[in-house]
Amino acid sequence: DEDYTGSITLVTSWADIQQRVGPERVRRLFKKRSQGKVSMVIGPDADGQGLELAVRLYNPVMRTPKSRYEWVNADTNRLLTVETKYLCSDTGAELLEDEIDYYHMYGGERVYFDKEEIRQIKTQFGDPGLKLLGFKDQSRLKPYHHVKHSSFLYPDDESIQGSSKLFWALHETMRAQKKIAIAVLVARQQAAPAFVALEPQEELVEEGAQIRPPGFVVVTLPYADDIRDIELPSAAADPEAVKAAVPKAKKLISRLTVDFDCDQFEDPVLQRH
C-alpha cells in the first residue's frame, strides 16, 4: 500500500464543522411522520355547509421514552410471550370476550353496558376533524395557556386537492392582521374534543437551511379549572440578614460545599434498561 502524503486538518470546534460541511448537512434528520390527518372546516356558509380542506398534524417535540423491557425465562434466557386471560371469580373458568360486562358505579349501584355502548360513548363527539370557530388578537394568547406541548399543522393536498391554496391564504391573512384562530379539535377516533388556538408561524431560513417551517402552531387551550391563582408571599415579609452574620454564613456554606461532578454517578433507572 502507498503511504498517505496529504495534509490532515484538525477540527477543534463545532463552528469548524459547520463552516466546512455546511449547517444543512450537520443537522440530524428525522422522518417527519404525521400524528394524523384531519379535515379542517371553515364556515358554515350561507347553505349551512362549511368549506373543507385537508391538513396533517405533527409533533415538533416529543418526550423520549425509556426502552421497553422484555420478560425472559430465568433458565433459558429466551423471550417470553405475555398473554392476558380473564377468569370468572366464581367458577375459575376462562371468560370469552362476549362474556365480559362493563359497569360504572353511579349512585351506589352498578350500571352495566356492553362493548358497543362503550364505542358509542367514545364516538359521540363525531369523526376526527378541526372546526374553526372564530378569530382573536394574538395578544390574547398568553404563555400560561400552554398546558401541554403544541402540535404543528400543515396542508395535505393528497387527500383534498387545493387544500394548500386555501391554507396559505388563511395563514398569510392571519399573519398580516396578527390574529389567531380558535377551533375545536378531535385529533383521532374516540378522542375527546379540545379547544385549540391556531397561531400562524412564519418560515425561518438561515444560510440556505430551513430552521422553522411555515404553518400553524396548534396550542391546546386550558379549561377554567386548569388555571388557578397562587398567592406568593410578599418579598417584604422576608427578614433582612444581619450584616455581621453574612460572612459567618458564607464561611459555614463553604465548609459544607464539596466538589461534585454528575458524570461520576450513573443513573440507576437508566442502568436497568
How many angstroms separate the first and last alpha carbons of the chain? 45
What are the cell numbers at 141? 394568547
Q: What is the mean pLDDT of residues 88-112?
A: 86
- Matching residue, cell 392571519: 174
Q: Which of 67, 41, 70, 69 is nearest to 54 (CA)?
A: 41
Distances (CA, A) of 1 to 4, 6, 7: 9, 15, 18
Q: Are strands 36-42 and 129-137 parallel, antiparallel or unpaired?
A: parallel
pLDDT, tens digit, for every residue of 134-178? 999 999 999 888 888 899 999 988 888 888 999 999 999 999 999
Quick one: pLDDT at residue 200?
A: 94
Higher pLDDT, 235 or 58: 58
Decide: 201 and 181 in contact? Cβ < 8 Å: no
Cβ contact 180:89 at 8 Å: no
Contact criterion met (CB below 8 Å) for 77 and 167 = no
The residue among 238 and 146 whose pLDDT is bigger is: 146
The per-residue pLDDT for 15 is 62
Name which residue leads in pLDDT, 50 or 86.
86
**Mean pLDDT of the region 35-60:** 82
Position with higher pLDDT, 270 vs 5: 270
Q: At a CB cut-off of 8 Å and minimum separation 6, what does 145 contact?
A: 197, 219, 221, 222
- Cα distance between residue 122 and residue 116, in whole Å: 10
Provide the pLDDT for residue 14: 56
Q: What single-letter DSSP state applies at residue 176?
A: H
How confident is the prediction for the chain on average, in pLDDT?
Answer: 81
Structural domains present in the chain: 26-62+123-226 (2.40.290.10)
Q: Give the C-alpha separation, 110 to 252, whole Å.
A: 63
pLDDT band of residue 7 (cuts 50, 70, 90) is: low
Distance CA 95, CA 88 (A): 6
**Which residue, 258, 130, 256, 244, is CA-closest to 197?**
130
In DSSP notation, 247-263 reads HHHHHHHHHH-----GG
Q: What is the pLDDT of residues 198-229, one digit of tens each?
A: 999 998 888 777 788 899 999 999 988 888 77
pLDDT at 56: 92
CA dist., res. 55 & res. 36, Å (int): 9
Q: How far is 44 from 48, CA to CA, in rounded Å?
A: 5
Three-state secondary structure readout of 116-141: HHHHHHHCCCCCCEEEEEEEEEHHHC
Phi-psi group of 102: left, alpha or beta (phi > 0 → left; psi -120 to 50 → alpha; rest → beta): beta
Please state whether the peptide bond connecting residue 222 to the residue before it is cis, i.e. omega within 30 degrees of 0.
Answer: no
65, 75, 157 from 69: Cα distances, Å: 12, 18, 40
pTM for this structure?
0.62
Q: Residue 181: pLDDT above 60? A: yes
What is the predicted pLDDT for the residue at 160?
Answer: 87
**Is 156 in contact with 54 (CB distance < 8 Å)?**
yes
Q: Radius of gyration over alpha carbons of the chain, in Å?
A: 29
Q: What is the mean pLDDT of residues 191-199?
A: 90
